[in-house]
């Protein structure tokens, strides 16, 4: 009807320019025979097998946990659903390196929680090192992914079906099974997303698989590049390509399935639990206490100790770690850098995507672009980082980004459009075209219409988009692990480097700060966007 | 030709005098420590101002190499973590020899026999143990015992300069033999990236024993962590944080003064105050540390380790997986 204006075109071109060159460059990386030979080594083969194995095992476990919570939260009348949903999503939002760090101090021989109870394992054993610990923690982190995918599917099932089943004499369990059967595409989509997240995860294997001598693809890429320097970029690129293909294969399953999920308005299914309401809530609380509260409490206690392994007593608790973390140049800089980078990426991406999402209602090109922007998010962060190194190692158009914060910012802009797109696309879909038509008939051109009608209505969705990008970028490690340089660290790198430097208690303090900041932001965004259902924790 | 050189030298004189009192230091010392070092020198030698570029050893070397390529190195003095990088610079002819430098108080092996670089402290690598471990090791060979199976964690030479020197020195040590690391791997020892990872694991009790630099273990012990540190009887290896003057310096006089200060009793006492074992004999070490003269240093043939480093790293990566 209206021709595309320059605004969505310019925004789209900009997005495409930052998002695609790294992956294209990696795809066309001249894979030398030496690099390909490196991929065929026994250790690379072992890493591939291990990554796939961890992906499958953790996904099965995540499916059980995620389905349980999805049923409770989306199908039943369990009390406290809002708070349970919020806490359950924290399992996903707390970054993997912090989760792994918390679990290591929670169940390790020096556990400040289990030790005083006499439950800590004996010295010389760390139950989480190796494949068992990796699979378990990956499952805990991915369960909310399964939950989110399943919840979307469950919400689309009309209540009539359950009522009909009920009328036919089906009990509660039969009703739940029936609904789950109908939501199977959502579950399968969640499984494939969980698998993709597992093989791309770096924080968990970095802390559990490296010390457990269990090579995986992400850790091998990291070890090669940091151990042998930039000269091994060819080998790292070959490994990264292998990882990318694996992720795309996993994600294509989801893409095929998602097409069949129809969204549907109308009454949602709500199964009354009756006498089981309280026991169900109690079980959810016990699970959250074990999976979330206890490890974070152990991390919090550790942050108050002078050194790992010191028994926590009133006399030994101190705030020194917090003081030194907030005073030290490097950690304070890392906090600030991450704040600026993630806020900047959130605002820029939300701004660029408003116009593109609006154009996507009518334009095929914009829709194609939005679909393609999913790829840099599906591909593991480490892979994207290798692509960015390949593109920016030498100055591009006279601008040298390598070894600056700029390369991390470019990587964030490439990685996170997919996150910013979701709330904006939903908001645009819900927009009544009559508003624009009215403005058009009053003689307003495309740009004034966009500025005066669309922008104000899209603002809450834009805030939500920026928040989602911010939350993902603020704590991320997989992209910046390869892109940081001295003086240009991120918060994720700061925590990881402190941990690597043997400063485990200061790393714990920085992690506590990071988690507190994240939760505060989630609550603030939730309050600002109250009642709009634009954020995943506002179900 | 000679007259041309003289002419150039004469022309250079005003430049040199313009630079008098100005020094540029490239260092890998942590910020706070680098600032202390510079402040102490400027106090001891008023009239000299030192500008500092500080970063990790790798970044410092990258910057320096880039400047070499551009033909304009800006650093006068270099103070970096390990002797291997210094040895590489020496072999490229980048370092200024200083035969007059007094090394009488320093053990052989802490300084370059050609007097281009000088170790300023001893950061030794020994054995750390958790106090709940089944035994306290006294020999490197104790780590090969069945009771230590799967319980030893060590830093990787791919990341740690100290670990590289340890690996290189062990292969030439008659008491340990070239197969020591093979036997460690066979006893299910675990390699992590840096010394910090070793500290975490032994401190938390995840493993009983660790091969690690002295100050990390001793500082943790001082903070109350349930760990101890031993200097094994075969001796220890050390990184020495050497200092050197670049041949291209325009201010050799003040550069020499800086090196002499770091090696002097006053400079060495500063190192002790910062928590390191002074390289100079007779200077008191920090509390809990043995003095330099009590430490048995293994032979560390830096030129040979440098020559073999790529092969040693590759062998290590094959044994321990990275």
Q: How many CB atoms lie within 10 A of CB A297?
A: 16
Beta-carbon contacts of residue B279 (< 8 Å; ≥ 6 apart): B106, B107, B110, B119, B120, B121, B122, B240, B263, B268, B271, B292
Give B-chain residues touching A218 at CB under 8 angstroms: none
C-alpha to C-alpha distances, A54 to A59, A197, A234, A246, nearest whole angstrom? 8, 11, 26, 13
CB B21 within 8 A of CB B49: yes
Give CA–CA dist B10/B14, Å, rounded. Answer: 8
- C-alpha dihedral over A100, A101, A102, A103, to 10 degrees? 50
Reported residue count of chain B is: 322
Instruction: Specify the CATH number of the domain A6-27+42-299+319-538.
Output: 1.10.3720.10
pLDDT band per the 50, 70, 90 thresholds, residue B61? confident
Residue B133 CA to residue B14 CA, distance in Å, equals 66
Tell me the C-alpha to C-alpha distance, in Å, between residue B267 and each of A465, B46, B96, B120: 56, 15, 21, 9
Residue A41, chain B, CB below 8 Å: the answer is no
Chain B residues whose CB is inside 8 A of the A112 CB are none
**Are B201 and A211 an interchain contact pair (Cβ–Cβ within 8 Å)?**
yes
Provide the ipTM: 0.74
Strand blocks (E) in A401-516: none
User: Residue B12: pLDDT above 50?
Assistant: no
Give the number of other CB atoms < 10 A from CB of residue A154: 22
CA distance B267 to B106: 14
How many whole angstroms separate alpha carbon B105 and alpha carbon A78?
A: 77
Distance (Å) from the C-alpha of residue B90 to the closest C-alpha of chain A? 22
Span B136-156, average pLDDT: 95
Q: Is B56 on the interface with A (CB under 8 A)?
A: yes
| Cα distances (Å, whole numbers) of residue A211 to A109, A134, A426, B201, B321 | 15, 11, 44, 9, 10
Q: What angle do CA B254, B259, B260 make, to 5 degrees?
A: 90
Cα–Cα separations (whole angstroms), residue B52 to B29, B74, B77: 10, 11, 10
Q: Which residues pair with B280 in a beta bridge?
A: B106
Chain B, nearest residue to A226 by Cα: B159
C-alpha triplet A101, A104, A105: angle, nearest 5° = 90
Sign of CA dihedral A141, A144, A149, A154: positive
Mapping DSSP onto H, E and C, the string for A29-43 reads CCCCHHHHHHHCCHH
pLDDT at B37 over 60: yes
Q: Which two tokens stand for residue A136?
A: 């378990």
C-alpha–C-alpha distance, residues A320 and A305, integer Å: 9
Q: Which residues of A touch B81 (CB under 8 A)?
A: none
Query: From first to last of its 539 residues, what are the pLDDT tens digits of chain A?
Result: 445 578 888 999 999 999 999 988 887 765 677 777 777 888 889 999 999 999 999 999 999 999 999 999 999 999 999 999 999 999 999 999 999 999 999 999 889 899 888 888 887 788 899 999 999 999 999 999 999 989 888 888 888 888 888 888 888 888 889 889 888 888 998 999 999 999 999 999 999 998 888 999 999 998 888 777 777 788 888 888 889 989 988 888 777 766 555 555 567 788 888 889 999 999 999 999 999 999 999 999 999 999 888 888 888 788 888 988 887 777 888 999 999 999 999 999 999 999 999 988 888 889 899 989 989 998 999 989 989 988 988 888 888 888 789 999 999 999 999 999 988 988 888 888 888 888 888 888 888 888 888 888 889 899 999 999 999 999 999 999 889 877 788 999 989 888 888 888 999 999 999 999 999 999 999 888 887 777 888 75
Q: pLDDT at position A194, please? A: 94
- The predicted pLDDT at position A303 comes to 95
CB contact under 8 A, B193 and A210: yes
Residue written as token pair 């190796």: A130
Q: What is the 3-state secondary structure (H, E, C) of chain B?
A: CHHHHHHHHHHHHHHHHHHCCEEEEEECCCHHHHHHHHHHHHHHCCCCEEEEEECCHHHHHHHHHHHHHHCCCCCCEEECCCHHHHHHHHHCCCECCCCCCCCCCECCCCECCCCCEEECEEEEEEEEEECCCCCCCCCHHHHHCHHHCCCEEEECCCCCHHHHHHHHHHHHCCCCCCCHHHHHHHCCCEEECCHHHHHHHHHCCCCCEEEEEHHHHHHHHHCCCCEEEECCCCCEEEECCEEEEECCCCCHHHHHHHHHHHHCHHHHHHHHHCCCEECECCCCCCCCCCCHHHCCECCCCHHHHHHHHHHHHHHHHHHHCC
The per-residue pLDDT for A42 is 85
Count other Cβ atoms within 10 Å, centred on residue B9: 10
For chain B, the average pLDDT equals 88
State the Cα torsion A130-A133-A135-A138 to the nearest 10°.
-120
B24 in Cβ contact with B60 (< 8 Å): no
Q: Where are the domains of chain A?
A: 6-27+42-299+319-538
Lowest mean per-residue pLDDT among A290-299, A495-504, B9-18, B35-44: B9-18
A133 Cβ contact partners less than 8 Å away, ≥ 6 residues apart: A103, A127, A208, A212
Task: Give the pLDDT score at A2.
Answer: 47
pLDDT in tens, B289-309: 988 888 899 988 999 999 998
pLDDT at A56: 96
Residue B57 has pLDDT above 80, yes or no: no
Task: For residue A44, give the chain B residue with the closest CA.
Answer: B321
A98–chain B nearest CA distance, Å = 15
pLDDT above 70 coverage of chain B, percent: 94
Q: Is the pLDDT of residue B17 over 50?
A: no
DSSP of A40-94, one letter per residue?
Answer: TSHHHHHHHHHHHHHHHHHHHHHHHHHHHHHIIIIIB--TTHHHHHHHHHHHHHS
Q: Are B120 and B240 in contact (CB under 8 A)?
A: yes
Q: Per-residue pLDDT tens for B150-204?
A: 999 999 888 788 899 999 999 989 999 889 999 999 999 988 878 888 999 999 9
Rounded CA-CA distance B152/B130 in Å is: 11
- A215: its two tokens: 């090579």
Per-residue model confidence (pLDDT) at position B322: 56
Tell me whether residue B63 is exposed, middle or buried, using C-beta atoms within 10 angstroms of its C-beta: 0 to 12, 13 to 18, 19 or more.
middle
Q: How far apart are CA B98 and CA B242, in angstroms?
A: 14
* Number of Cβ atoms within 10 Å of the Cβ of B1: 5
User: What local confidence, expressed as pLDDT, does residue A476 receive?
Assistant: 94
Residue B204: which of A43, A227, A309 has the nearest Cβ?
A309
Among B205, B213, B218, the strongest candidate for a mutation testing the A interface, having the largest count of A CBs within 10 A, is B205
Question: Position of tokens 């402040």?
Answer: B39
Shortest Cα distance from A124 to chain B (angstroms)? 4
CA nearest to A221 within chain B? B322
Q: How far is CA B248 from CA A514, B72, B77, B173, in A?
A: 46, 8, 10, 37
Report B:186-215 residues touching A (Cβ under 8 A): 190-201, 203-208
Average pLDDT over residues B203-231: 93
User: What is the percentage of chain B residues whose pLDDT exceeds 90?
Assistant: 61
pLDDT for the residue numbered B18: 41
């Amino acid at each position: 009807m209206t021709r595309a204006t320059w605004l969505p075109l310019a925004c789209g071109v900009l997005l495409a320019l930052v998002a695609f060159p790294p992956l294209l460059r990696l795809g066309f990386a001249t894979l030398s025979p030496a690099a390909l030979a490196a991929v065929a080594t026994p250790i690379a083969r072992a890493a591939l097998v291990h990554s796939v194995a961890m992906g499958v095992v953790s996904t099965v476990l995540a499916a059980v946990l995620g389905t349980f919570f999805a049923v409770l939260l989306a199908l039943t009348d369990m009390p406290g659903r809002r708070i349970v949903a919020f806490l359950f999503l924290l399992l996903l939002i707390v970054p993997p390196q912090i989760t792994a760090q918390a679990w290591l101090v929670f169940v390790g021989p020096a556990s400040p929680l289990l030790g005083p109870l006499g439950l800590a394992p004996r010295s010389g054993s760390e139950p989480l090192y190796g494949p068992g610990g990796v699979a378990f923690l990956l499952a805990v982190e991915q369960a909310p992914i399964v939950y989110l995918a399943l919840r979307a599917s469950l919400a689309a099932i009309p209540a009539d079906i359950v009522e009909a089943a009920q009328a036919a004499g089906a009990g509660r369990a039969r009703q739940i099974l029936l609904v789950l059967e109908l939501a199977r595409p959502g579950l399968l989509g969640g499984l494939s997303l969980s698998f993709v997240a597992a093989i791309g995860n770096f924080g968990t294997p970095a802390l559990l698989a490296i010390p457990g001598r269990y090579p995986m693809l992400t850790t091998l890429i990291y070890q090669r590049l940091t151990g042998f320097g930039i000269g091994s970029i060819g080998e790292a690129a070959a490994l990264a390509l292998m990882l990318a293909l694996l992720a795309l294969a996993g994600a294509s399953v989801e893409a095929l399935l998602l097409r069949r999920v129809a969204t549907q308005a109308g009454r949602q299914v709500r199964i009354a639990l009756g006498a089981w309401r309280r026991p169900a809530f109690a079980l959810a609380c016990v699970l959250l206490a074990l999976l979330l509260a206890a490890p974070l409490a152990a991390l919090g206690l550790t942050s108050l100790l002078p050194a790992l392994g010191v028994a926590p007593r009133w006399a030994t608790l101190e705030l020194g770690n917090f003081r030194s973390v907030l005073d030290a140049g490097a950690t304070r800089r890392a906090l600030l850098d991450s704040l600026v980078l993630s806020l900047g990426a959130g605002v820029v991406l939300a701004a660029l995507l408003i116009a593109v999402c609006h154009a996507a209602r009518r334009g095929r090109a914009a829709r194609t672009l939005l679909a393609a922007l999913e790829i840099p998010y599906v591909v593991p962060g480490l892979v994207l980082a290798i692509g960015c190194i390949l593109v920016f190692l030498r100055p591009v158009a006279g601008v040298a980004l390598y070894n600056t914060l700029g390369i991390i910012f470019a990587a964030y802009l490439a990685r996170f459009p997919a996150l910013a797109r979701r709330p904006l696309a939903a908001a645009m879909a819900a927009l009544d075209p009559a508003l624009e038509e009215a403005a058009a008939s009053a003689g307003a051109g495309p740009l004034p219409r966009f500025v005066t009608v669309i922008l104000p209505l899209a603002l809450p969705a834009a805030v939500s988009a920026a928040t989602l990008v911010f939350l993902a970028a603020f704590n991320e490690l997989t992209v910046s692990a390869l892109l940081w340089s001295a003086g240009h660290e991120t918060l994720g790198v700061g925590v990881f480097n402190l941990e690597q430097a043997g400063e485990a208690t200061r790393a714990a303090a920085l992690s506590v700060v990071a988690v507190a900041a994240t939760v505060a932001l989630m609550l603030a965004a939730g309050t600002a966007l109250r009642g709009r259902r634009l954020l995943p924790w506002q179900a | 030709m000679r007259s041309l050189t003289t002419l150039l030298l004469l022309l250079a004189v005003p430049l040199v005098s313009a630079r008098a009192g100005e020094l540029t230091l490239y260092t890998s010392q942590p910020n706070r420590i680098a600032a202390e070092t510079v402040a102490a020198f400027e106090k001891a030698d008023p009239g000299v101002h030192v500008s500092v570029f500080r970063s990790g050893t790798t970044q410092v070397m990258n910057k320096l190499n880039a400047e070499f390529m551009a033909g304009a190195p800006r650093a006068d003095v270099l103070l970096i973590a390990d002797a291997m990088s210094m040895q590489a610079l020496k072999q490229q002819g980048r370092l200024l020899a200083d035969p007059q430098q007094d090394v009488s108080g320093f053990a052989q092996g802490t300084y370059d026999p050609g007097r281009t670089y000088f170790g300023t402290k001893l950061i030794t690598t020994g054995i750390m143990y958790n106090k709940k471990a089944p035994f306290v090791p006294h020999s490197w060979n104790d780590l090969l015992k069945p009771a230590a199976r799967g319980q030893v964690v060590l830093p990787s030479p791919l990341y740690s300069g100290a670990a590289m020197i340890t690996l290189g020195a062990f292969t030439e040590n008659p008491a340990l033999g070239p197969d020591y690391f093979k036997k460690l791997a066979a006893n299910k020892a675990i390699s992590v990236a840096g010394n910090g990872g070793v500290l975490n694991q032994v401190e938390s009790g995840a493993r009983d024993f660790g091969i690690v630099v002295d100050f990390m273990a001793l500082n943790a012990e001082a903070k109350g962590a349930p760990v101890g540190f031993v200097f094994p009887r075969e001796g220890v290896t050390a990184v020495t944080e050497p200092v050197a003057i670049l041949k291209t310096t325009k201010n050799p006089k003040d550069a020499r003064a800086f090196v002499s200060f770091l090696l002097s009793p006053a400079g060495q006492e500063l190192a002790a105050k910062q928590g390191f074992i002074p390289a100079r004999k007779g200077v008191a070490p920090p509390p809990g540390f043995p003095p330099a003269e009590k430490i048995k240093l293994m032979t560390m043939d830096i030129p040979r380790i440098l020559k073999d480093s790529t092969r040693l790293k590759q062998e290590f990566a094959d044994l321990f997986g990275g």
